[in-house]
Amino acid sequence: MKKHYFRSAVAALLPLLLIAQPVEACTGFIIGKKLTADGSTLVGRTEDLEPNHNKNFVVRERVYNKKGAIFEDAANGFQYPLPEISYKYTAVPDVTPDQGIFDEAGFNEYGVSISATVSASANDKIQKVDPYVKDGLAESGLTSIVLPSVKTAREGVELIAKIVEEKGAAEGNIVTIADKEGVWYMEILSGHQYAAILFPEDRFAVFPNTFFLGHVDQSDTERTIASKDLEKVAKEANSYKEVDGKFHVSQSYNPPLQEADRSRVWSGIKSLDPSSPVKYDDASFDLLHTTDRKLTLRDAMNLQRNRLEGTKYKPQDQMELDGKGIPKKGEFDAVYKYPISNPNVMEAHIFQLKDDVPASAGGGTMWLSMGSPRNAPYLPYYGNILNTYQAYQELGDHYNDRSWYWTISRINDLVAKYPDLFEDGAIRTEMERLESQWMVEQDLSDQEQIALASQPEEASKKATEESLARAEKTFERLQEIRKEAEQKVADEHGKSALQDLDDEEDAAYEEKIDLVDFDYDYILAAGLFGATLLAIVIYLIRSKKQKGGKQDD
């Protein structure tokens, strides 16, 4: 996930860091229905950026747009005509629309689901030939454009392809779009290049922030959608690569594999298939994998909560607690690695798609963990709900105990800062117990939705009532857990410890830099100016030393 602000700690180095720093954000996965115990398809993603970043869960109503109405992305100025009708859909947006909507994930009224996006980026050679377009399609507006505009997943892929061809992409992204016909996996590779495949039902994939597509059969137009110049651009960029005599997309378009991507793809594959032959130091990782195991929704939840358990590695965010110092971004460490479940996860979602659940209900369930799922529950939601619980709709960038996100954020912060007080894992155990209960209840709800397929209004009413009641009861319990955790910390470390936590959260908020006000051309110019100034200083120092040396002689 890309956002337009960074910490003030890097403000002075911003011109140089903007290009050099790798993005460590989001991990996606797909599990085909032939690999699951119940025959459902599982698709999901963790949305990562930073701690203390509020998210909402809302229903966006169907809208009849005025002729000539235009969608504009406040994040980068991207514009696109709105359709005559914008279909109803659910979304998980940011609370700062002036910096981009970032609707991220949801169902629309036709049973199309989307998760967008996992950020990725083409290598420098590719970007010189087909650069990203400053006001092109970006993650910030992608879901808001696609989900209310399409009736099928394929239409969604085709719409993205059309936009990328005509207006360009502002960044590289990986998108999953699904419906009753299956799941499409799409990579937006460079300014105008893309490739998408209909994901095989007998495979699984784990994909952090790098491209994974291998050979793409563009002659198979039923299962593949790709830009016509996909190979041509790679050849012009002199980054064209073949594997087994065939053009390989990711090896042609990717930069070198980052350590944070390596740790997540490897641990993700091993989480779903412990017997997989993949090794941590493999040169590259394939997109498609298989396993003899029958995977479940619980396996998917465990994947998103994975913190390198059962391996010789430790989570990178544990370094400071272990007295090993603060981890440095991009720096290699032999023991501490970047896990899928990291402090930057703001929400996690899993689509459980079933053949017999009506498309009008979403064709399945979105299991949503608002806030990091490390100590938070996944709750099930159909696509036909009419409203969401108020705690999901609380706005604001500061801690608010009426907010679902901020309540979970506080619980996670307490557990992370005082692990010795919560080492029994009681909170996580309770979350999993609730989830197991809801899984049973959801199977019964599926049957109700199937029975009400011919009465969509009644089905929506039923789904809404059930989800609101569950959310209300759960939020009440989460508030109790938060208060119990705060009391435990206060008893052990004093009430000042809670005030310290408040101060840290406020300080983190104040340190955010809003890059929406920056012009990237000016940033680049500043970087070049800084580099030139540095070169002049070095030249003057060397000249002075040389003069001094001659005088000594």
Active site residues: 26
Strand residue runs (E) in 141-189: 172-179, 182-188
User: CA dist 65 to 82, 145, 158, 290, Å?
Assistant: 7, 13, 22, 45
CA atoms within 13 A on the CB side of 418: 19
Residue 53 vs residues 159, 204, 371: alpha-carbon distances, Å: 30, 30, 9
Per-residue tokens: 459:
């089905």
C-alpha 96/C-alpha 75 separation (Å) is: 10
Distances (CA, A) of 514 to 100, 105, 201, 427, 518: 12, 24, 42, 35, 8
String of DSSP letters for 374-419 = GGS--EEE-TT-S---GGGG---SS--TT-HHHHHHHHHHHHHH-G
**Which token pair is 404?**
């679902």
- Please say whether the dihedral angle defined by the alpha carbons of residues 321, 4, 252 and 285, taken in this order, is positive or negative: positive
* CA atoms of 187 and 112, how far apart (whole Å): 18
Please give the torsion angle defined by the CA atoms of residues 509, 514, 515 and 517, in that order, rounded to the nearest 10 degrees: -170
CA separation for the pair 104, 26 (Å, rounded)? 11
The pairing of strands 27-31 and 204-207 is antiparallel
Rounded to 10 degrees, the C-alpha dihedral 179/288/224/108 comes to 20
**CA-closest candidate to residue 211, choices 122, 293, 89, 125:** 122
Count of CB atoms situated within 10 Å of the CB of 400: 17
Choose among 282, 291, 220, 212: nearest CA to 252. 212
Contacts 24+ apart (CB under 8 A), 364-369: 364/40, 364/41, 364/113, 365/442, 365/446, 366/90, 366/105, 366/106, 366/107, 366/113, 367/44, 367/297, 367/301, 368/57, 368/92, 369/304, 369/408
Cβ partners under 8 Å of residue 379, min gap 6: 367, 368, 369, 438, 467, 470, 471, 474
| All residues at 6 or more sequence positions from 145 whose CB lies less than 8 Å from its CB, including other chains | 71, 80, 137, 159, 163
Q: Which residues of 202-220 are buried (b: 16+ CB within 10 A; e: fewer)?
A: ebbbbbbbbbbbbebeeee
